[in-house]
Structure 1
Amino acid sequence: MHIHPLITDSASLANLCARLSNSPFVCVDTEFMRENTYWPDLCLIQIADSEEAAAIDPKAKDLDLKPLLDLLVENEEVLKVFHAGGQDLEIVHNLTGKTPYPLFDTQVAAMAMGLGEQIGYSNLVETLIGVKLDKGARFTDWARRPLDKRQIDYAIGDVTHLAKLFPKMLEKLRKTGRGGWLDVEMERLGDPASYANVPELAWTRIRLPGRKPEVLGRLRAIAAWREREARNKNIPRGRIAKDETLADMASHPPREQADLSRVRGLSPSWASNDIGARLMAAIAAAEPFTEEEMPPREDRRPGLGKEGALIADLLKLLLKVRSRDADVAPRLIARSDDLELLAAGVRKDLPLLEGWRYDVFGKDALALVEGRLGFSVKNGKMVMTAIEG
């Protein structure tokens, strides 16, 4: 594989992307810093196909990233391969408003191959291609310039190894017929809505302080206010105010700006400065939730009392058995919330009762909760036994 020198000029990047646009797949990774910012500070982009690889310096003066971004989000003929790519996709979405498509995530694919629920990249590389990675540059300061050779070699290695292991994974998935299992997961991972931080929805990430419409209305208003303040200042939202501080103010709102000096977690200076005034304006403008806006109760499990909880525990045991038999990560088959819903009697809109999940687990799960299936031990191994009515 040909490794290019660090790309810092637009002509070299355009030429690289023109060649890669004819490849069946490209592997992509990014290095970024975000400890002190709201937006991830993109420091390096690595890309490779089966023949060539390069690192691209997005901080290089006058570098035009458009050919690369077009390759990622406009060219639907090239498959984009990531490993645990959620944060990489977020960066691309921040730059373009879109996400790469079509998409393949090797960490998700590893679940279908029985390699664990969240296998790390270094473990995946060692397992599939027998290479032990040097982790020495893992916690480097990627924003510092100039980047040294060890940093660049480490970064490019992330995509060169990915370009070798991806075809192996794809071949195994084809042989086992599990490629189709991943379609829904990849669609979910690549959904642009997952990466759009809408200020008016920021409250949904905060633990609710209650279910009073006026409290939730204030929480929505001040969470949106915090989101905009953090964006404008480009600092982490927690530097503005912690979640628990917002929840407390939603439940016990300050009556006037001077009261902000007594709110735990806020600077006393907010009692008289502009940011405090903007916070008070947000609280004053808050409107109670309407009945339609009220969030569903967390206990979406009708009738899940003590007996239902025991049934849910049995379903979790069944999931372990079936995922072992199928050699697939349990989390790819079903989530705990869905098991509890099934135990409570819910039968609609459960992924585990659809498609391949039904064949692997769902039909047995239904049989278990309906009393047609039981557990037994045979030769020291847990097995399922049909119960005749």
Structure 2
Amino acid sequence: MQIHPLITDSATLAALVARLAQSPFVAVDTEFMRENTYWPDLCLIQIADDKEAAAIDPKAKGLDLKPLLDLLVDNEDVLKVFHAGGQDLEIVYNLTGKTPHPLFDTQVAAMALGMGEQVGYSNLVESILGIKLDKGARFTDWGRRPLDKRQIDYAIGDVTHLVEIFPKMLNRLRKTGRGQWLDQEMERLGDPANYENLPEQAWTRIRVPSRKADVLGRLKALAAWREREAQGKNLPRGRIAKDETLADIAAHPPKSQADLAKVRGLSPSWASNDIGGRLIGAIEAATPLSDDEMPPREDRKPGLGKEGALVADLLKLLLKVRSRESDVAPRLIARSDELEAIAAGQREGLALLEGWRYDLFGKDALALVEGRMAFSVRKGRMVMSEVTPPE
């Protein structure tokens, strides 16, 4: 495989992309920093097919990334291969408003092959290729320039190994007949809605005990205010205000901006500065949460209550049994909240009651909940057996 020098000019990048566009698939990875920013700071892009590989410096002056981004989000003929690509997809979405498509994620594929729920890249490389990676450059400062040879070699290795791993994993999936299982997973991973940062939805990520519409309405307004402040200043949202601070203000709103000096977690200067004024403005503009937006009551949530919790525990045991028998990671089959939903009587809108998940696990989960199946032990192994439900 040809390894190119670091690409820093538009002509070289455009020529590389033109060649890669003729390949059936490309492996892609990124290096970025986000400890001190809201938006990920893209520092390096690595891409390869089975013939050539290169690292691209997005910070290079005058570099036009458009041909590369077009390849990732608009070229339907080239499959884009990532490992644990969620944050890579987020970066591409932030740059284009789209996500790479079509898509293959080797971490998700590893779950279908029984290799674990969140197998790391180095473990995957060692398992499939027998190569032990040097992790020394993993936590390097990717924003520093110039990048040294060790950093670039480490970064390119992520895609050159991925190029070798992908066909081997694809072959295993074909042999097991599980390749089609992943189509839905890849579509879900690549859904652009996953990567939207809508200020109006930010409140749903904050835990607050109150169900009062006015409190939740203020929380929604405060969370949206914080999100916009963080985006505009390109700072982590926690640097603006912590979740618990917003929850406290929503429950006990200050009567005036001067009262912000008394709020734990805020700087006293907010009692008189512009950001404090915008916070007060958000509180004053808040309206009670509408009935349609109100979260479900706790006593209606799946899995709560003693009986519901016991049923959910039985479903988790069944999931372990079916996962072991099929050699598929439990997380790929069903999530805990789905099991709790089944236990609570929900039957609509659950992935585990559709397609291959239903065949592998969902139909037995329903049978267990409805009393048509029970656990037993045979030769020291937990198995399921059909029973006649009581009249």
Q: Which residue of 1 aligns with 2:383?
A: 383
Work out the CA distance in 2 between the residues paired with 1:303 and 1:203: 23
Residue 368 in structure 1 maps to residue 368 in structure 2: yes
Does the aligned pair in 2 maintain the 1:209–1:248 contact within 8 Å? no
Contact 2:302 2:308 in 1 (8 A): no
Superposed displacement of residue 300, structure 1: 4.0
**Alpha-carbon distance in structure 2 between the residues aligned to 1:175 and 1:169:** 10
The answer (yes or no) to whether the contact 1:13–1:68 under 8 Å persists in 2 is yes
Between the aligned partners of 1:185 and 1:31, the Cα distance in structure 2 is 24
Contact 1:202-1:224 within 8 A present in 2 as well = yes
Deviates more, 1:337-346 or 1:112-121: 337-346
Amino acid at match of 2:189: L
* 1:12/1:282 CA distance change after superposition, 3 Å: same
User: Are the equivalent residues in 1 in contact too, given 2:222–2:283 (CA < 8 A)?
Assistant: yes
For 1:200, the equivalent position in structure 2 comes to 200
Count matched residues.
389
CA distance in 2, matches of 1:291, 1:343: 26
How far did residue 388 of structure 1 move? 3.8
Show CA shifts across 1:194-220 (max 9, x none).
111011111111113411111111111
Task: Output the CA distance in 2 between the equivalents of 1:181 and 1:322.
Answer: 16
Assess if the C-alpha contact under 8 Å between 2:303 and 2:312 holds in 1.
Answer: no
Contact 2:302 2:340 in 1 (8 A): no
Give the C-alpha shift of residue 307 in structure 1: 2.1
Q: Alignment partner of 2:31: what SS?
A: strand
* CA deviation vs aligned residue, 1:4-48 (integer Å, no higher than 9, x gap): 000000000000000001111111000000111111110000001
Q: 2: CA distance between counterparts of 1:195 and 1:297? A: 27
Q: Secondary structure at the match of 2:340?
A: helix
2:350 alignment counterpart: 350
Contact 1:270/1:276 (<8 A) preserved: yes
Q: List aligned pairs for 1:320-359, cutoff 5 A.
A: 320-359=320-359
SS of the equivalent of 1:291 reads coil
SS at structure 2 position matched to 1:141: coil
Listed as ranges, the gaps of 5+ residues in structure 1 are: none
d(CA) in 2 for partners of 1:13 and 1:302?
51
Confirm or deny: 8 A CA contact 1:300 1:341 kept in the other structure: no
Aligned to 1:124: 124
Question: 2:241: which partner in 1?
Answer: 241
Q: Tell me the distance in 2 between the aligned counterparts of 1:379 and 1:159.
A: 46
1:101 equivalent in structure 2? 101
Q: Distance in 2 between matches of 1:162 and 1:266?
A: 46
Measured against aligned partners, the alpha-carbon deviations of 1:224-263 in whole angstroms (never above 9, x if no partner) come to 1111111111111111100100010000001100000000
Deviating above 6 A after TM superposition, structure 1's stretches of 4 or more consecutive aligned residues are none
What pairs up with 1:1-389 in 2 under 5 angstroms? Answer: 1-301=1-301, 304-388=304-388
> 1:255-313, CA deviations, whole angstroms, 9 ceiling, x for partnerless residues?
10000000000000000111111111111111111212212334544685322221211
What's the offset of the Cα at 1:358?
A: 1.1
Query: Residues 85 and 261 from structure 1, CA distance in 2 versus in 1: closer, same or farther, beyond 3 angstroms?
Result: same
- Separation of aligned partners in 1, 2:69 and 2:298: 40
Q: Kindly provide the amino acid, as one letter, of the partner of residue 284 in structure 1.
A: E
Q: Matches of 1:299 and 1:46 in 2, distance apart?
A: 49
| Aligned partner letter, 2:119 | I
Structure 1 window deviating more from structure 2 (258-267 vs 185-194): it is: 185-194
| Counterpart code for 2:25 | F
Distance 1:301 1:289 in 2: 19
Letter in 1 for 2:341: L
The code of the aligned residue for 2:134 comes to D
Q: CA offsets, 1:37-93, max 9 Å, x none?
A: 111110000001111100000010100000000000010111111100110000000
In structure 2, C-alpha distance between the alignment counterparts of 1:340 and 1:139, rounded to whole Å: 38
For the 8 Å contact 1:302–1:344, the answer to whether it is kept is: yes
Distance 1:303 1:49 in 2: 47
Contact kept in structure 2, 1:43 and 1:58, CA below 8 Å: yes
Alpha carbons of 1:186 and 1:297: their partners in 2 closer, same or farther (altered >3 Å)? farther
Partner Cα distance (2:273, 2:209) in 1: 27
CA distance in 1, matches of 2:90, 2:303: 39
Supply the distance in 1 between the matched residues of 2:169 and 2:352 (Cα, whole angstroms): 24
- Rounded to whole Å, the distance in 2 between the matches of 1:361 and 1:200 is 36
Q: Distance in 1 between matches of 2:232 and 2:366?
A: 51
Secondary structure of residue in 1 paired with 2:180: helix
| CA contact 2:302–2:342 (8 Å) conserved in 1 | no
1-structure distance, mates of 2:158, 2:303: 49
Asked if 2 retains the 8 angstrom alpha-carbon contact of 1:209 and 1:251, the reply is no
Measure the CA separation in 1 of the matches of 2:101 and 2:296: 32
CA distance, structure 2, for counterparts of residue 307 and residue 288 of structure 1: 34
